[in-house]
Amino acid sequence: MAEKASKKTAAPASDRTGEDRPRLLLLDGHSLAYRAFFALPAENFSTTTGQTTNAIYGFTSMLANTLRDERPTHLAVAFDVSRKTWRSEQFTEYKANRSKAPDEFKGQVELIGELLDAMKITRFAVEGFEADDVIATLATQAEAQGFDVLIVTGDRDSFQLVTDHVTVLYPTKGVSELTRFTPEKVREKYGLTPSQYPDFAALRGDPSDNLPGIPGVGEKTAAKWINQFGSFKELVERVDEVKGKVGEKLRDHLESVKLNRQLTELVRDVELTSGPEGLERAPYDREALGVILDALEFRHQNFRDRIMAVDPGAAADEPAVAEPGVAVDGVVLGAGELAPWLESHRDTPLGLATVDTWALGSGSVSEVALATGSGPAAFFDPSQLDEADERAFAEWIADPDRPKVLHNAKGVMRVFAEHGWSVAGVRMDTALAAYLVKPGRRSFELDALSVEYLGRELSPAAAADSGQLAFGADEEAERDALMIKARTILDLGEAFGGRLKDVGAAGLLHDMELPVSELLARMERSGIAADRGWLERMEQQFAAAVQHAVKEAHAAVGHEFNLGSPKQLQEVLFGELGLPKTKKTKTGYTTDADALAWLAAQTDHELPVIMLRHREQARLRSTVEGLIKTIAPGGRIHTSFNQTVAATGRLSSTDPNLQNIPVRTDEGRAIRRGFVVGDGFESLMTADYSQIELRVMAHLSEDEGLIEAFTSGEDLHTTVASQVFSVDKSAVDPEMRRKIKAMSYGLAYGLSAFGLSQQLGITPDEARKLMENFFERFGGVRDYLQRVVEEARATGYTETMLGRRRYLPDLTSDNRQRREMAERMALNAPIQGTAADIVKIAMLKVDAALTKEKLSSRMLLQVHDEIVLEIAPGERERVEELVRREMTGAFKLSAPLDVSVGSGADWESAAH
């Protein structure tokens, strides 16, 4: 790589094409460090020794992103030495207006220099000159030698350097967003060529550099004069032609403007220790860099990964672009050939991929591929197996000592059971592993993981020209694709082995997520019985309510309109009725639920209330319609549980989404009556953890007062309210209890004072006072919430009590909204994630106890913090005792777990 770059530099500039030109990146160190300092809150970035690090973090983060995006072959950073330069000698007031650098900024530039040295990046600082002059010199030399040049600086004087081969990247938002200034962009912005920019700047003046302008002359007039006369020099020679008062002012200030023009011109011949050809990028001194990052306490893994990803030494070993999929030798096994193939790979880990179908609680497998680390992969059609083959495959797939690697093991377990095959010995599920390594990623699809972790496309090498195999491709190509998929799964399994250990999640995969997958596969196959007639009546009821709301809305405004059209609703609400304007959006004034609720409170008009009712009834109707469509021929609903959707570790469900059913409304309870006990069973049983998030928060904060409130045996929210409001428990009224309940759960979910005020309908000041009173009584909670955000900012992630991590790179964002959102996530992730982990442990313990005691009752659903079981005749008392024992003992907390249990003929009747 180094040899190739040096050859480029040696080539004559006139002979180079765009692809051949070396690429020099120049950064104004002081300018960017200072911007980073003010973009990131200093109080959020400091070491245990008190060294502030926000400028270092912001500068280095910007550098890593720019190296990633621009891929320079050559690189240098220029710094100012002091304020004493040739400019200050000519004009003693130059930059004299600038205030002293904040104490927190001092020392950070030196530390940035040490980081750059470890990254083998050349830095310049020349006595008597500014960083801009060094950059101008290098840019001029580099362009003459055939380089493309990129300059990252917050000083607009650099715009005079812009040419077809010199681009300025100007920070427009902290240091996170850079605007590209090309000759066209400069002309678009100022109406001038880059070479005219210093003329324009001289006339305009520069308050930041303390260069005086001409009274009454702004940017428009300055640009007009330069365009009219062509240059500053010509303007001076013909200054008498400028008429009016502005002409007089120009002539009165001409000498100071001439001085401005000298000072705004960048020096292009500073004597430097190296020219552009000597700035070729070199591999990091990784050991030295690691020591510095550790000393600065930059433990944020995402941050460190971004820095290391642009190390030229690492880049030489990693493909910049994913390569086409590997070609895999394979064999198609016919009848009688699978058994000996499996025997020949008895102790070998095998990657397994399938083509299968699953819908409404049933499915089948049509193709299977098995791959080894070396040697041919195997493909077979299950329908073509003979009796010996099928027996051998069933024994292999069920053998816990014969290792398998799968992608989405739950789906395989679920559909294999349809063929009578039990799956055991799964050593790795690459989807779950990817989730534990990086839970916030958007996609856990195999093709995306292959590109990211293996550097290759999933499509076979033979099909690289046409991309992914199209539906209807010939059978041979489809078989090849499936075998490549199996090999990719196997290779990914090996790649994730080390990564899971790095993030401390190997135990979570093997002891929790994989066993939960197996349990969920059985739950999905079982499903829950549904009363179709009841649900259809509910759907009709909600449909009638929707139509009634439509008629009411039309009557309220005196004419018909489309309630589902935001545009028509806006015209009615804000045009015809003249109701108070809500928040302005790109499509007009918002009419979402919050806006309608606000309008209902602000006005006596009935339409906002009708609209809220219409939307709620329409949503409920849609929910019930979805439930009816998913009832299988056997009369049961088979939802699919997702382990990789919620970043906190919570389970979710789809087809249908059972978390969509309201829990605390009359309509939601009515819908739940449609889930009933199935044939051959006696009742449904629900078991629910009481206030599990708050108990986790009490445990993690070690707040003695809150723990006592749980262990006293009295109502938690009443007990806490009596302390916060300083009244006797008997004096706590329902409103006090409601406020404390909302605030307690809000704290566990990272709710702000503003959010609490919106939820309770009180002012932000009242909400803030309520929180202050709570923290005064329960200081341990306050200290914990502060500590957990500080620790997450230092490490880059939060962690549950069982070691489940959630990475939050936006904790150090210079975007305030993104940073505050990440802080709320940091507050709730350890609490909500620990609660989710405890629920999974409880599910496994209950399931294991049912098996151990040889009971026929079974688990059907897990929704929120609730488990739903189907109880076999005569087993209710034993199952209830078992459930209480296993769930309360699932995890030891200072505020003991409490479980509520109920049973009945349907889900609602089984509530407790």
Mean pLDDT of 546-562: 95
Torsion-angle region of 24 (φ positive above 0: left; ψ -120 to 50: alpha; else: beta): beta
Helix (H) or strand (E) holding 823: helix 816-852
- pLDDT tier, 650 (very low <50, low <70, confident <90, very high otherwise): very high
Q: Which pLDDT value is given to residue 593? A: 86
- Evaluate whether 394 touches 388 at the Cβ level (below 8 Å): no
User: Could you give the CA distance from residue 634 to residue 679 in angstroms, rounded to a whole number?
Assistant: 10
Pick the more confident residue, 853 or 204.
Answer: 853
Helix (H) or strand (E) holding 902: strand 899-904
- b/e burial code for range 235-261 (CB count within 10 A of at least 16 → b): beeeeeebeeebeebbeebeebbebbb
Mean pLDDT of 463-474: 37
Mean pLDDT of 610-626: 93
Task: Please state the pTM of the whole predicted model.
Answer: 0.75
> Exposed, middle or buried: residue 895 (CB in 10 Å: 0-12, 13-18, 19+)?
buried
Q: Which pLDDT value is given to residue 175? A: 65
- Evaluate whether 685 touches 869 at the Cβ level (below 8 Å): yes
- pLDDT tier, 216 (very low <50, low <70, confident <90, very high otherwise): low
Report CA dihedral (223, 224, 225, 226) to the nearest 10 degrees. Answer: 50
Quote the distance between the C-alpha of residue 212 and its chain's center: 47
- By DSSP bridging, strand 426-429 and strand 404-406 are parallel
Task: Please say whether the dihedral angle defined by the alpha carbons of residues 552, 556, 561 and 564, taken in this order, is positive or negative.
Answer: negative
Cα distance between the two ends of the chain: 69
- Give domain 2-182+267-308's CATH superfamily: 5'-nuclease (3.40.50.1010)
Who's near 244: CB < 8 A, 6+ residues apart?
none
Residue of 126, 120, 147, 124 lying closest to 21 (CA atoms): 147
Helix (H) or strand (E) holding 883: helix 876-888
| Token couple for 460 | 């076979």
- Evaluate whether 424 touches 399 at the Cβ level (below 8 Å): yes
Q: What is the largest CA-CA distance in the chain?
A: 109
| Token couple for 695 | 């108990």
In the block, residue with structure tokens 């967003």: 177
Report CA dihedral (728, 729, 733, 737) to the nearest 10 degrees. Answer: 120
In the block, residue with structure tokens 């030399």: 141
Tens digit of each residue's pLDDT (9 = 90 or more) over 352-376: 999 999 999 999 999 999 999 888 8
3-class DSSP state of 181: strand
| Token couple for 417 | 């059971």
> Exposed, middle or buried: residue 317 (CB in 10 Å: 0-12, 13-18, 19+)?
exposed
Which range, 285-294, 458-467, 689-698, is most confident? Answer: 689-698
Q: Which pLDDT value is given to residue 468? A: 33
> Exposed, middle or buried: residue 471 (CB in 10 Å: 0-12, 13-18, 19+)?
exposed
Alpha carbons within 13 A on the beta-carbon side of 740: 25
Who's near 171: CB < 8 A, 6+ residues apart?
32, 35, 62, 152, 154, 177, 178, 179
User: Could you give the CA distance from residue 424 to residue 426 in angstroms, rounded to a whole number?
Assistant: 6
Query: Per-residue pLDDT for 3 more than 50?
Result: no
Mean pLDDT of the chain: 87
> Exposed, middle or buried: residue 557 (CB in 10 Å: 0-12, 13-18, 19+)?
middle
Who's near 306: CB < 8 A, 6+ residues apart?
61, 64, 65, 68
Report CA dihedral (705, 707, 710, 713) to the nearest 10 degrees. Answer: -80
Q: Which pLDDT value is given to residue 102? A: 80
Pick the more confident residue, 223 or 66.
Answer: 66
Query: Per-residue pLDDT for 460 more than 80?
Result: no
Please name the residue ranges forming H helices in 47-196: 54-70, 86-90, 108-118, 131-144, 183-190
User: Could you give the CA distance from residue 596 to residue 608 in angstroms, rounded to a whole number?
Assistant: 5
Give the chain's radius of gyration (CA, Å).
34
Tens digit of each residue's pLDDT (9 = 90 or more) over 834-851: 999 999 999 999 999 999
Quote the distance between the C-alpha of residue 367 and its chain's center: 36
Q: Which pLDDT value is given to residue 86? A: 74
Mean pLDDT of 169-193: 85
Report CA dihedral (58, 60, 61, 62) to the nearest 10 degrees. Answer: 80
Q: Other C-beta atoms within 10 Å of 533: how many?
A: 9
Task: Please say whether the dihedral angle defined by the alpha carbons of residues 447, 451, 454 and 457, taken in this order, is positive or negative.
Answer: positive
Window from 89-98, 103-112, 138-147, 751-760 with minimum mean pLDDT: 89-98
Window from 103-112, 382-391, 543-552, 650-659 with minimum mean pLDDT: 103-112
User: Could you give the CA distance from residue 221 to residue 211 in angstroms, rounded to a whole number?
Assistant: 17
Alpha carbons within 13 A on the beta-carbon side of 863: 21
- By DSSP bridging, strand 404-406 and strand 350-359 are parallel
User: Could you give the CA distance from residue 155 to residue 131 in angstroms, rounded to a whole number?
Assistant: 10
- Evaluate whether 617 touches 549 at the Cβ level (below 8 Å): yes
- Evaluate whether 862 touches 651 at the Cβ level (below 8 Å): yes
Backbone angles phi, psi at 406, to 5 degrees: -130, 165
Backbone angles phi, psi at 349, to 5 degrees: -65, 135
Q: Which pLDDT value is given to residue 461? A: 44
User: Could you give the CA distance from residue 59 to residue 37 in angstroms, rounded to a whole number?
Assistant: 9
- pLDDT tier, 684 (very low <50, low <70, confident <90, very high otherwise): very high
The length of the chain in residues reads 912
Q: Other C-beta atoms within 10 Å of 830: how many?
A: 25
Helix (H) or strand (E) holding 177: strand 177-181
Q: Write the DSSP string, 129-157.
A: S-HHHHHHHHHHHHHHTT-EEEEE-S-GG
Looking at the domain 330-527, which fold is it?
A: Nucleotidyltransferase; domain 5 (3.30.420)
3-state DSSP of 364-427: EEEEEEEECCCCCEEEECHHHCCHHHHHHHHHHHHCCCCCEEECCHHHHHHHHHHHCCCCCCEE
Residue of 861, 822, 864 lying closest to 692 (CA atoms): 864
- pLDDT tier, 8 (very low <50, low <70, confident <90, very high otherwise): very low
> Exposed, middle or buried: residue 396 (CB in 10 Å: 0-12, 13-18, 19+)?
buried
- By DSSP bridging, strand 640-642 and strand 584-585 are unpaired
Q: Which amino acid is at 799?
A: E
- pLDDT tier, 174 (very low <50, low <70, confident <90, very high otherwise): low
Beta bridge mates, 359: 362
Residue of 270, 289, 179, 195 lying closest to 233 (CA atoms): 195
Mean pLDDT of 227-255: 72
Beta bridge mates, 858: 870
| Token couple for 544 | 């009638």
3-state DSSP of 452-505: HHHCECCCCHHHHHHCCCCCCCCHHHHHHHHHHHHHHHHHHHHHHHHHHHHCCC
User: Could you give the CA distance from residue 136 to residue 140 in angstroms, rounded to a whole number?
Assistant: 6
Domain ranges of the chain: 2-182+267-308, 330-527
Beta bridge mates, 171: 178
Which range, 32-46, 242-256, 566-580, is most confident? Answer: 566-580
- By DSSP bridging, strand 23-28 and strand 148-152 are parallel
